[in-house]
Structure 1
Amino acid sequence: MYKQNIITYLQQHRFQYLNVANLNVNRTDNEKTIEDKLIQCYQHLRILCSSDTLTKNNFQEFQKRINYLKEELSKNSNLHLIYADFTDSSFPLSTILVLPSLKQTHNDITDYPSSRFTAAATISLEHQKSILQSVNTTDPSIFSTLQSTPSVNTINILLLGETGVGKSTFINAFVNYLKFGSLEKARTGKPIVIISVSFIATVGDHFEERIVKFDDINNSNNEDFDHPGESVTQRCKSYLFHLDKTSTNILRIIDTPGFGDTRGLEQDDFNMQHILEYISNLTHLNAICFLLKPNTSRLNIFFHTCITQLFSLLDRNALNNIIFCFTNSRSTFYTPGDTAPVLKQTLISLSIGDVPFKKDNTFCFDSESFRYLVALQNGIPFNDDEKHEYEISWSTSVNESNRLIGYICRNVTIYRIDNKLQSMKRAQFEISDMVRPILETLRNILRNYILYKMNLLRTSILLCPRVNDQFFTRCLVCKPSIHSLGDFYIAHYLPHKVEKKCCNCTCLLDQHIPMYYVPEYKILNDVSQYTEKEMINRLYELCYASAEFAYFLLYDARSTKDNPFFIGFIEMIAIETEICKNQTSSTLNSSLATALRDIADKHENRLNDIVRWAKSSNLSDIYNLINTISNYDMVCEQLAAVKEGRKIMMKQYEYEFIRI
C-alpha cells in the first residue's frame, strides 16, 4: 500500500515509474555504470533514484529532491521525469540520487562519440538547448551525431506495409510520440495531425457508432477513405520534420501505397513499381521500415514479392537498413506475437540474403493511444481505467520511438542509392522512361523527312519539350485537340489533374498515365539539321533500338505483358488516321500515318527476329544501347524533361513541417 501511494504521489507530480529490477543492474555496478544504463535505456534527462526504505527513512530529503525537479520542470517543460525504484534491485543503493546532473547532461551531448561520422563538430550550449527543445523526449546525443556532418542531415525512412496495417496512423502517432513525452502533455498541448484521421468509435451501452475525424478529410487529396480494402494512400508522399531550430536535421518519412490491395496483384505490382521509381530518385535511405501487426498467422503473399522487388533495385548492403515495426502491439505485451515465427520463416525463404530480425531492429508500438487522443478531441468519453491504460501505452511507445531514432542514427550505415549501379530493375526504369521520347522523336523525324521529300526544303519542325509546372496525367480515353502546324496537323493532349479522381474528366483513374512534359513544336524557316541519309539512319537506329528495349522489358525484366513501343505506334497511327478523317487538307498527315505503319512493321519484325534467336540480353550491352540512344539530342531533351517533371511531382507530394 505504501509503494502504491508513493507511485500515485509521483505520478501526480508528472514522474514516470521505472522498476530498476527489470534492468540489468546488479551489485557489480557503480553510480557511473548505473547512470549509463538508465540513460541508455530510457533516454530521459532527469531520473530520481530511491527505494522504499530510503524514501521512508529520508522522506524530507526525498521531498526536497522532488521539489527541486518540479522547479526545473517549471522552467523547462521539455524535461521528462523518471522515478527509478531500486527496492527490488540487487544493487545496494545507499542514498537518494538524481541522475544526471544538468551539467553532466550538457557534457554528454558535447562529448558523445561521433559514431560513423568522421568530423565531430563542436556544438554550442545554445544549439544543444535548441535540439532538446525541438524534440522533447528524444536523446539529444542522437542529433548531435547528425549535426557533426552537415552534408548528411536528412534521415530518410521508407515505410512499407500491407493495406490496412495503419501506416498513415502510425506516422501521425510516431511524430506525436517524439513531440510529447506523456499523454498528458499531448492532451493539454496541440497534437500534430500530419495526415487526416477518420475512424469509427463505439460508445455507450448500446455501442452507438460515431465517426471520429481529426483535421479536414476533404483536404487530403492523396488519401482515399471511400473504398475499404483499397490502399488509402494512392501514391508515395514524403513528410519532412525539422528537428531543430536551425533546420539542419530533418526527418523524412515516406508513406507508400499498401500491398495486398483488394484490386488485385496487378494493382500491387503497379504500386510497387511506383515505390521503386520514387526511391530511385532519392540520394540515400537510412531505414527501410516494414510495418506489421502482431499475431498474424500468415503474411500477405505480396510481402515476399515486395521485399524481393525492392532488392532488385537495391543491393545487399541495404539489408542492414531493414527494420520492423509492429503496431497495435499492446495486446501482445509489446512483442511481435505470433507474427514472429511466420516472419522468420518468410525471411529465411528469401534469396536476397540474410535479413536481420532481432530485438535491436524491431520496435513495438501501440497506435491506439494516439487514436484515444483523437477520440478525446472529438468528445468521446473514457473511464479512469481506460485513461490509465492508454497513458502506459503512450509512454511505452515514446520509449520505442526514441529507441528507433537512436538505432537508425547510431547503429545503421546510410545506404547510398547509386544511380550508376547496373541492375535489371534500374535498366527497366530507364527504358520505361525512354518509350515516349523515342516514339516522339521517331514521329518528328518522319515529319521532317516528309517535308524534305515534298521539296519543302526551307521548312522544318523543331520538337521542344515543356516541363509541366505541376504533376499532371494524360487520359488515355479523352481525345486530343487538333492544331495546325504549317502543313501538318498536331494532336495536343490536355494535361489532367488527378486528386481522388480526375478534375478534368469522368474517366477511371487507371485510364490516366503520368504526363511529365508537353511536346511543343516550332516551325523553322530553315532546312532540317539532318541530311536525308542522317534522317534515314536515325530512324532505323531508333526503330531497332526500340525492338531491343521491348525484348528486354518483355522477356528479360518481365515487367510487362504488352509491348509499350508497339502500343505507342498503334496510338500514333490512330491519331494520324483520325486527323485525316476530320481535316480536309491533311495530305502530310496521311503520309505520316503510312510512314508510322512502316516503322511499326519494322519494329515488330525486328522484335520477332530477336525472339527467334531466343538470346537473353546482355545487361552491359543494354546499358551501352541506353547510353547511345539517350545521347540523341531530341531524346536527351525529353529525358531531361521527364527527370525534371518527376522532381516536380515528388515536391508536390512532399509536406514540410517547420518543427515537431
Structure 2
Amino acid sequence: MAASKEEINILLLGETGAGKSTFINALANYFKFNSFNDAIFGDIDVLITSRFTITNDDYEMQTITVTSEDEDEYYIVDKVGESSTQKCGVYVFEADGGRVIRLIDTPGIGDTRGIKHDEKNFENILKNISQHEYLNGICILLKPNNARMNITFKFCIQELLSHLHKNAKDNIVFCFTNTRGTFFRPGDTLPVLKRQLQEFKEKFEIEINIHKDIIYCFDNEPFRFLAANKKGMKFTDDEKENFASSWEKSAKESERLLRHIKNCTPHKIIDTVSLNNAKQTVLLLREPLAEIGKNIQENIVEIRKLKEEIQRNDFTNQELKNKLYVPHIELKIIPLDRPKIVCNSSECQAHYIGTTTRICHVKWKDLHKYILDLYGTMIFGKCASCGCPAKNHKIIYYKSITEYSENIDENVENELSENKIEQIYKQDHIKMLQEKIDQLKEQQDKVNQIIIKFTQFLMQNAIAAFNDAYVEYLDYIIHLEREKANTSENYDNNILEALEEIKINYDEEVKVIKEMIENNESSSCSLSSEDILELEQQLYDLPNVGKYLQAIKEEEKKAFKYRERRHKLTNMLNSLTKVFTKANIWNCS
C-alpha cells in the first residue's frame, strides 16, 4: 500500500535529558509563528508540560514551569536523570486540506531505573508505531559534546533495528539539541557517533553513512526564553537578539529536516516482522477468545435443545416445518460514541454495559486524560465511581453484543417454498443439527489449541512477570455465568460446566508449559513471530469467529486516534508554508 500523501509520521528517540519535550514544544511554535518577534508578542503553544531552571538578572536560579492544557503540573517528573516522558505521546499537527505531521514522542533511553525499564519502554514504542502504516523519519536526538553516549546510543540503535526491518536505517536522522554553545555543530559527539556507526557496520551489517543531510542542529533555549518571558522574567536587548538569532537558525533547520524526511522512502511498518508485533496481536486477541469460547458453548446449547425437542416429539408436518432451522447466536462489535472506563472486578456493583462489562461514569475531559495515561478517575489507587482498585479497570472503545437468528438451510428452504414438506425427514434434520454441534466442538478445540500456543509464546518472551489476561477474563465470564445460574430458573448449566472444563484443561496445559520453561525444555518447541501470524490467520479463517476478531482488530486501530493529541495549525503564514509550497512536502509517493 502506498504511503499517504497527506501524512508524515516521525518517530523521536533519544537518551534521557536530550531535550525531546522542549524540542517538540519549540517545533510547534516554529510552525505557528513567522518570526521570533511574533512569538514574543503572541501566545506560545505548549504541547508537553515541562519544568526547567534559569538564572535571572540577579544571578538567582529560578524554576520555570510551562503546562499543557492536556496535562497537569503535579504530574511532572522531578527526579534528576528520569525521563519527563514516561509514556509514548503522539502529537498531531493538522493543517488545511487534511495535511498532518505526526510526532511520536518516546520515553528517554538510558532510564536510571535500569535496562529492564528501557526494554519495556521499547515495547511501548513499538506498540505505538505498529498503529501506523509507515514511518517517514526516525529522529534520534543527541546532546553535543557528549563523549559518554556509547551504551545508551548502542542500545537505542540496536533495539530499534532489531525490531524493524534493516531498511529503516535509511529513514534515520540525527538531531542535536542545545547546540548554540557549539556554534550549531554536533561538537565532540560527532566522532563518537561515527565510531559507533562503524561498529554497527562491522558487527551487525548495518551501514549508516554520516553526511550533512542526516545531521541537524537546533537550540532549545529560545523556547525556554519565551516561556520565562511570559512568566515575567526580564532579559537584556542583547540576550533577546541572541535568542532571536538562535530561533531563526533552528526554524530554518526544522524546514530542512522536514524537506529531507519528505524525500525519504517511507519505511512500511507492515514489512516489519517483529517479536513485538506478534506479542501485541496475542495480547489483543486473548480476551475476545474467552468471549468466543462462551459464544460457542451458547450455540451448542441452543442447537442441542432444538435437536432434543425434535427427537422427543411427534410433530405434524406443519409443526415440523417450524422447527427446520439452525439457531445461531452471533457475536458482533458495536462502536461506542466515545471511549469508556469499565471495571472487570467480579465484585463491582457499577452499571452494566452489554452483558459482561460494568461501566464507570467519568467526565469526558477526565477520561481523555486517563486515556493519555496521565490521570482521571483513579483516586488513591481506587476508582472514584465504583470504589474498585484501579488495576481492575480498562478503557474500551467498543462493546460486544450477541444477536440471535434462525438460519434455514438453502436446500430445505427450497423444498419449503415448494410445499414439499413431506419429503423432509425428521432424522435428516436431527443428523444435520448433530453435525453442527460437532463442527462447533471442533472449532472450540481449535481455539483452545491456539490459545495455549499464544500463552506459551507470551511466557517464553515475557520481559516482565507473565500476566495471564486470558484466564483472568475467563474467570470473570465464569463468575457472571454462576450469577445467572443462581438467579435464573431456566439457566442451562451446560454452558457453565463447559466453561469450567475449558479452564481446567487450560490450567493443566499451562502447568506443563511452566515446567518445560523451568527445566529449559521449551527451546525445542518455541514459537516464532511467523508462527503467531499463521495462528492468527487460522483464527480469521474460522466461520463467524474470524469475522468477529477482524472487526475487533479494526476497531482497535480506529481507537488509536483517542491517544493522539491533535494540534490545529490555524495560521498557515508560517515556516511550514515554505515547506508546503517550495518542497511539496506531501508528495511522499
Query: TM-score under structure 1 normalisation?
Result: 0.65
Say whether the 8 Å CA contact 2:11–2:139 is kept in structure 1.
Answer: yes
**2:525 is the counterpart of 1:615:** yes
Task: Give the deviation of 1:321 after TM superposition.
Answer: 0.7
Say whether the 8 Å CA contact 1:470–1:652 is kept in structure 2.
Answer: no
Match of 1:465 in 2: 333
Structure 2 CA distance for aligned equivalents of residues 290 and 178 of structure 1: 20
Q: Are residues 187 and 649 of structure 1, via their aligned partners in 2, closer, same or farther at CA, if it must alter by over 3 Å?
A: same
Match of 1:14 in 2: none
Say whether the 8 Å CA contact 2:9–2:135 is kept in structure 1.
Answer: yes
* Equivalent residues in 2 for 1:365-380, closer than 5 Å: 365-380=218-233
Partner SS for 2:486: coil
Task: Give the deviation of 1:441 after TM superposition.
Answer: 1.0
Task: Give the deviation of 1:606 after TM superposition.
Answer: 7.2
Say whether the 8 Å CA contact 1:236–1:254 is kept in structure 2.
Answer: yes
Task: Give the deviation of 1:369 after TM superposition.
Answer: 1.2
**2:448 is the counterpart of 1:597:** no
Letter matched to residue 415 of structure 1: H
**2:475 is the counterpart of 1:573:** yes
Match of 1:155 in 2: 8
Letter matched to residue 604 of structure 1: V
**2:396 is the counterpart of 1:515:** yes
Structure 1 CA distance for aligned equivalents of residues 545 and 212 of structure 2: 53
Match of 2:536 in 1: 626
Task: Give the deviation of 1:291 after TM superposition.
Answer: 1.4
Match of 1:439 in 2: 290
Structure 1 CA distance for aligned equivalents of residues 451 and 466 of structure 2: 10
Say whether the 8 Å CA contact 1:480–1:491 is kept in structure 2.
Answer: no
Match of 1:319 in 2: 169
Farther-moved stretch of structure 1 (642-651 vs 587-596): 587-596
Task: Give the deviation of 1:470 after TM superposition.
Answer: 3.5
Structure 2 CA distance for aligned equivalents of residues 381 and 517 of structure 1: 52
Partner SS for 1:247: helix
Letter matched to residue 521 of structure 1: T
Structure 2 CA distance for aligned equivalents of residues 199 and 503 of structure 1: 29
Structure 2 CA distance for aligned equivalents of residues 469 and 223 of structure 1: 30
Q: Are residues 286 and 236 of structure 1, via their aligned partners in 2, closer, same or farther at CA, if it must alter by over 3 Å?
A: same
Structure 2 CA distance for aligned equivalents of residues 264 and 529 of structure 1: 58
Farther-moved stretch of structure 1 (514-523 vs 359-368): 514-523
Q: Are residues 264 and 634 of structure 1, via their aligned partners in 2, closer, same or farther at CA, if it must alter by over 3 Å?
A: farther
Match of 1:54 in 2: none
Q: Are residues 171 and 570 of structure 1, via their aligned partners in 2, closer, same or farther at CA, if it must alter by over 3 Å?
A: closer
Partner SS for 2:213: helix
Say whether the 8 Å CA contact 2:88–2:104 is kept in structure 1.
Answer: no
Match of 1:501 in 2: 375
Q: Are residues 274 and 575 of structure 1, via their aligned partners in 2, closer, same or farther at CA, if it must alter by over 3 Å?
A: same
Structure 2 CA distance for aligned equivalents of residues 287 and 420 of structure 1: 16
Farther-moved stretch of structure 1 (396-405 vs 526-535): 526-535
Q: Deviations over 1:362-392 (max 9, x none)?
A: 1111110121122222221012332232233
Structure 2 CA distance for aligned equivalents of residues 526 and 249 of structure 1: 47
Task: Give the deviation of 1:445 after TM superposition.
Answer: 1.7
* Equivalent residues in 2 for 1:210-359, closer than 5 Å: 210-213=63-66, 217-220=68-71, 224-225=75-76, 227-228=78-79, 229-232=82-85, 234-242=87-95, 247=97, 250-261=100-111, 265-299=115-149, 301=151, 303-350=153-200, 351=204, 353-359=206-212
Say whether the 8 Å CA contact 1:177–1:398 is kept in structure 2.
Answer: yes
Structure 1 CA distance for aligned equivalents of residues 280 and 554 of structure 2: 12
Q: Are residues 294 and 476 of structure 1, via their aligned partners in 2, closer, same or farther at CA, if it must alter by over 3 Å?
A: farther
In the alignment, structure 2 segments of 5+ residues that lack a partner are: 310-325, 383-389, 409-432, 575-589
Letter matched to residue 357 of structure 2: H
Partner SS for 1:494: strand
Letter matched to residue 143 of structure 2: K
Letter matched to residue 162 of structure 1: E
Say whether the 8 Å CA contact 1:157–1:289 is kept in structure 2.
Answer: yes
Structure 1 CA distance for aligned equivalents of residues 206 and 120 of structure 2: 25
Partner SS for 1:443: helix
Say whether the 8 Å CA contact 1:548–1:607 is kept in structure 2.
Answer: no
* Equivalent residues in 2 for 1:531-550, closer than 5 Å: 531-550=436-455
Say whether the 8 Å CA contact 1:201–1:212 is kept in structure 2.
Answer: no
Match of 1:169 among 16, 19, 22: 22
Q: Are residues 354 and 328 of structure 1, via their aligned partners in 2, closer, same or farther at CA, if it must alter by over 3 Å?
A: same
Structure 2 CA distance for aligned equivalents of residues 521 and 552 of structure 1: 30
Letter matched to residue 132 of structure 2: L
Paired residues, what number?
499
Letter matched to residue 10 of structure 2: I
Q: Are residues 372 and 432 of structure 1, via their aligned partners in 2, closer, same or farther at CA, if it must alter by over 3 Å?
A: same
Structure 1 CA distance for aligned equivalents of residues 174 and 193 of structure 2: 10
Structure 1 CA distance for aligned equivalents of residues 179 and 207 of structure 2: 25
Partner SS for 2:478: helix
Structure 1 CA distance for aligned equivalents of residues 464 and 528 of structure 2: 21
Task: Give the deviation of 1:563 after TM superposition.
Answer: 5.4
Say whether the 8 Å CA contact 1:222–1:233 is kept in structure 2.
Answer: no
Q: Are residues 220 and 535 of structure 1, via their aligned partners in 2, closer, same or farther at CA, if it must alter by over 3 Å?
A: same
* Equivalent residues in 2 for 1:85-104, closer than 5 Å: none
Letter matched to residue 547 of structure 1: I
Structure 2 CA distance for aligned equivalents of residues 339 and 150 of structure 1: 34
Task: Give the deviation of 1:161 after TM superposition.
Answer: 2.3
**2:86 is the counterpart of 1:209:** no
Q: Are residues 362 and 601 of structure 1, via their aligned partners in 2, closer, same or farther at CA, if it must alter by over 3 Å?
A: same
Farther-moved stretch of structure 1 (318-327 vs 461-470): 461-470
Say whether the 8 Å CA contact 1:474–1:515 is kept in structure 2.
Answer: yes
Structure 1 CA distance for aligned equivalents of residues 154 and 504 of structure 2: 44
Q: Are residues 226 and 465 of structure 1, via their aligned partners in 2, closer, same or farther at CA, if it must alter by over 3 Å?
A: same
Higher-Rg structure is 1
Task: Give the deviation of 1:310 after TM superposition.
Answer: 2.8
Structure 2 CA distance for aligned equivalents of residues 494 and 430 of structure 1: 25
Say whether the 8 Å CA contact 1:237–1:650 is kept in structure 2.
Answer: no
Task: Give the deviation of 1:454 after TM superposition.
Answer: 7.0
Match of 2:424 in 1: none
In the alignment, structure 1 segments of 5+ residues that lack a partner are: 1-148
Partner SS for 2:332: strand
Letter matched to residue 463 of structure 1: L
Q: Are residues 575 and 150 of structure 1, via their aligned partners in 2, closer, same or farther at CA, if it must alter by over 3 Å?
A: closer
Match of 1:414 among 255, 266, 270: 266
Letter matched to residue 212 of structure 2: K
Match of 1:124 in 2: none
Say whether the 8 Å CA contact 2:346–2:479 is kept in structure 1.
Answer: no
Letter matched to residue 176 of structure 1: N
Q: Are residues 416 and 526 of structure 1, via their aligned partners in 2, closer, same or farther at CA, if it must alter by over 3 Å?
A: closer
Query: TM-score under structure 2 normalisation?
Result: 0.72
Q: Deviations over 1:185-234 (max 9, x none)?
A: 43245544444554444434361635343xx5453379942554354363
**2:360 is the counterpart of 1:492:** no
Match of 2:255 in 1: 402
Q: Are residues 204 and 423 of structure 1, via their aligned partners in 2, closer, same or farther at CA, if it must alter by over 3 Å?
A: closer
Letter matched to residue 564 of structure 2: Y
Structure 1 CA distance for aligned equivalents of residues 462 and 359 of structure 2: 28
Partner SS for 1:427: helix
Structure 1 CA distance for aligned equivalents of residues 78 and 405 of structure 2: 51
Task: Give the deviation of 1:626 after TM superposition.
Answer: 1.8
Letter matched to residue 170 of structure 1: F
Task: Give the deviation of 1:267 after TM superposition.
Answer: 4.4
Letter matched to residue 381 of structure 1: K
Q: Higher relative CO (CA 8 A, sep ≥ 6), structure 1 or 2?
A: 2
**2:524 is the counterpart of 1:650:** no
